[in-house]
């Protein structure tokens, strides 16, 4: 970008402690929108700026602050093949046919599977959930699994959060005379697998505009459509089923799958959080207890406390534990599984620390004295395939570029996961690598991908990634900036402001949490807590102080500056949060960047 056309800096910060340029989120037109929102609705200037920075106008502010499913939910029939899928599921219910639910091993897959099973249980239908083993079966349906389900008596197989590219497995089920319905949201080309219905808003001929949904959000639409079909057939039992009570699972999956919190997704989370707080799902309630959730449940709790524990089963334990937990009605059984998942999550964290240390050392060796590769590719024997996705995410965060972590087995075959930076389509790059014969299998989203590759191909794969990504990633990194929503002093970081900001949430992908700057504050205290977090105390010019924390920062340049900088003055950028402790609420700032005050 030409320097003359660059946005002006916020507080003149050209290079922060994390080497980011700070810019104001709102341009002049955005500032005018914020002013109009404040004047029309009596909303504070800061919150009006937050709303305007997320595309809200004075005309849409009222409905945005109170989203409803009635206004935001599309007609399910607008999705390709939805009516066919709903009719086939209704046929199974009417005939009492056994249904097998084939899901994925992540939170979205577990929640989607649980949604369908709880729905079918209402009608007294026999059903089973099958979650493949991450290590031995890999992602998605396989012919052997289809045989198992059919031999167990399945007359219909419903795949959720997978299946769009499983041509061989679905073809095998078809040969055995069993129908398959696919409800998936992953990217897919023009070739479709043999199935009765393929409901996927990301298929090329789907014009519904719902490609931002996670699988659970899509499954919820399928259940709405199925219930509507049953009502058409005169089935009165549907009157007894309130689908709204299952929005807790939809909200959980929507947050944990990091899909954009816009449109229907935002309504799912707003209404789903209300359902979570009613503690109607014994499995979720048990997980909240073992995770130590304190205070009202927020997207943070779902994404960082509940989700990782469900994922732990699929990563290093029994992949079906999460989905089983979410279907239970017995509180004691739920507590037993929640305790197991909590233990597995602790084991996963220990594995992650060990693998990450090796991966970071390998990544650093690629840098030398230069800028390093555009895409980081690390690989190691003995790494657990269920952990590499988290490691890739950590590498991306630390080095601020796309990153892969690949687990190699003794034969030299690798299973890897990658995480990308905003603006670079990793899924497309991986699919192109497969087409060029550099990886045996692979695919995914713009921001995340998986692949299978042999050790012998790693060099060629790194070269291919470098050729494909160098220019784009270099440009993205050169123009990397932190968008600032506003500024406030420690004395202004009140619970009242926090509550106002929360009304403009929930925040997540596509609807980012507001980034606020505390300018020219003194760092009165800094110390390491936990394994690598830095806890801070910040004071403004009046002496008013506020607590802050910088997660996973102890061994970063920013963390080092804090630990050596007691008494010095900084500009601190971060997000406000509420810390619940022994029944009290206190505002805390989560620091994500800082710059030395001049």
For domain 3-24+485-596, the question of CATH label 2.40.50.460 is answered with: yes
Pick the CATH number of 71-278 from 3.90.1640.30, 3.40.640.10, 3.90.1150.10, 2.40.160.10: 3.90.1640.30
For residue 538 the two structure tokens come to 């910040």
Whether the predicted pLDDT of 239 surpasses 70 = no
Q: What pLDDT is stored for residue 238 in this prediction?
A: 54
State the residue for tokens 């760092």. 523
Domain limits, CATH 2.40.50.460, in the chain: 3-24+485-596
pLDDT in tens, 339-350: 999 999 999 999
Q: pTM of the full predicted structure?
A: 0.89
CATH topology of domain 366-479: Diaminopimelate Epimerase; Chain A, domain 1 (3.10.310)
- pLDDT at res. 187: 82
Pick from 413, 410, 416, 412: nearest CA to 430: 416
Are 251 and 271 spatial neighbours (Cβ–Cβ below 8 Å)?
Answer: yes
Q: Which two tokens stand for residue 200?
A: 């996927």
Question: Are the C-beta atoms of 436 and 464 separated by less than 8 Å?
Answer: yes
Mean model confidence pLDDT for the chain: 93
Other C-beta atoms closer than 10 Å to the C-beta of 127 total 22
Q: In a 3-state reduction of DSSP, which class is residue 467?
A: helix
- The three-state secondary structure class of 395 is helix
How do residues 272-299 score in pLDDT, each as one tens digit?
999 999 999 999 999 999 999 987 899 9
Tokens at residue 16, please? 């922060």
Contact 307, 288 (CB under 8 A): no
Contact indicator for 153, 124 with CB cutoff of 8 Å: no
Look at residues 40, 574, 211, 590 and name the one whose alpha carbon lies nearest to residue 51: 40
pLDDT of residue 154: 98
Residue 573, beta-bridge partner list: 517, 593
First to last CA, the chain: 27
> What is the tens place of the pLDDT at every residue in 44-98?
999 999 999 999 999 999 999 999 999 999 999 999 999 999 999 999 999 999 9
208 — pLDDT class (breaks 50, 70, 90): very high
Residue 141 pLDDT exceeds 50? yes
Confidence class for position 472, pLDDT limits 50, 70, 90: very high
Burial label for 77, CB within 10 Å (0-12, 13-18, 19+), is middle
Question: Bridge partners of 380?
Answer: 407
List, in sequence order, the alpha helices (H) in 60-205: 61-65, 69-72, 82-95, 107-122, 143-151, 167-175
Confidence of residue 465 (pLDDT cuts 50, 70, 90): very high
Question: What span, in angstroms and rounded, lies between the C-alpha atoms of 431 and 320?
Answer: 28
Whether the pLDDT of residue 529 is over 80: the answer is yes
Q: How far is CA 573 from the centre of its chain?
A: 23
- How many Å separate Cα 185 from the centre of its chain? 14
State the CB neighbour count (10 A cutoff) for residue 275.
21
Delimiting residues of CATH 3.10.310.30 domain(s) in the chain? 366-479
Which segments of the chain belong to CATH 3.90.1640.30?
Answer: 71-278
pLDDT at residue 4, as a whole number:
45
- Buried b / exposed e over 476-492, threshold 16 CB at 10 Å, is bbeebbbbbbbbbbbeb
């Amino acid at each position: 970008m030409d320097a003359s056309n660059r946005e002006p800096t916020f507080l003149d910060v050209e290079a922060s402690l994390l080497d980011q340029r700070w810019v104001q989120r709102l341009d002049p037109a955005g500032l005018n929108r914020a002013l109009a929102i404040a004047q029309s609705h009596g909303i504070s200037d800061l919150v009006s700026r937050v709303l305007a920075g997320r595309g809200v106008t004075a005309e849409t502010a009222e409905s945005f602050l109170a989203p409803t499913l009635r206004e935001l939910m599309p007609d399910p029939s607008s999705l390709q093949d939805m009516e066919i899928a709903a009719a086939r599921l209704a046929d199974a219910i009417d005939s009492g046919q056994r249904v097998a639910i084939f899901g994925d091993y992540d939170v979205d897959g577990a929640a989607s599977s649980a949604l369908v099973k709880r729905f079918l249980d209402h009608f007294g239908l026999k059903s089973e959930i099958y979650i493949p083993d991450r290590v031995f079966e890999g992602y998605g349906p396989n012919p052997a699994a289809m045989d198992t389900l059919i031999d167990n008596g399945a007359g219909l197989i419903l795949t959720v959060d997978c299946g769009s590219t499983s041509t061989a497995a679905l073809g095998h089920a078809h040969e055995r005379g069993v129908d398959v319905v696919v409800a998936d949201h992953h990217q897919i080309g023009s070739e479709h697998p043999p199935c009765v219905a393929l409901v996927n808003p990301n298929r090329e001929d789907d014009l519904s505009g719902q490609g931002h949904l996670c699988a659970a959000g899509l499954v919820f639409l399928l259940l709405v459509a199925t219930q509507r079909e049953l009502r058409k057939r005169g089935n009165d039992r549907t009157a007894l089923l309130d689908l709204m009570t299952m929005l807790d699972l939809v909200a959980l999956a929507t947050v944990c799958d990091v899909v954009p919190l816009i449109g229907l997704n935002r309504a799912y989370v707003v209404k789903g959080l209300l359902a979570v707080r009613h503690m109607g799902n014994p499995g979720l309630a048990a997980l909240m207890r073992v995770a130590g959730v304190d205070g009202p449940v927020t997207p943070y709790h779902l994404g960082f406390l509940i989700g990782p524990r469900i994922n732990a089963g699929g990563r290093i334990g029994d992949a079906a534990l999460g989905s089983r937990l979410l279907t239970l009605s017995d509180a004691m059984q739920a507590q037993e599984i929640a305790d197991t998942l909590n233990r597995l999550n602790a084991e996963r964290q220990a594995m992650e620390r060990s693998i990450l240390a090796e991966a970071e050392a390998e990544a650093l060796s690629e840098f030398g004295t230069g800028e390093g590769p555009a895409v980081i590719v690390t690989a190691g024997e003995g790494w657990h395939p269920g952990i590499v996705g988290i490691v890739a995410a950590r590498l991306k965060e630390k080095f601020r570029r796309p990153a892969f972590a690949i687990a190699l087995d003794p034969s030299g075959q690798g299973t890897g996961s990658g995480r990308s930076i905003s603006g670079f389509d990793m899924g497309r790059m991986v699919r192109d690598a497969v087409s060029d014969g550099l990886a045996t299998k692979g695919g995914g989203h713009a921001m995340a991908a998986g692949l299978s590759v042999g050790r012998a191909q790693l060099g060629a794969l790194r070269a291919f990634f470098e050729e494909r990504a160098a220019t784009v990633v270099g440009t993205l990194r050169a123009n990397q900036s932190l968008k600032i929503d506003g500024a406030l002093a420690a004395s202004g970081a009140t619970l009242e402001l926090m509550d106002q900001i929360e009304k403009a949430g929930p925040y997540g992908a596509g609807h980012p949490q507001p980034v606020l700057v505390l300018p020219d504050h003194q760092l009165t205290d800094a110390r390491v807590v936990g394994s690598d977090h830095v806890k801070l105390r910040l004071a403004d010019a009046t002496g008013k102080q506020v607590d802050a924390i910088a997660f996973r920062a102890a061994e970063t340049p920013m963390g080092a500056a804090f630990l050596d900088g007691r008494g010095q003055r900084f500009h601190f950028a971060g997000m406000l949060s509420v810390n619940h402790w022994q029944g009290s609420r206190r505002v805390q700032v989560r620091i994500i960047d800082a710059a030395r005050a001049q």
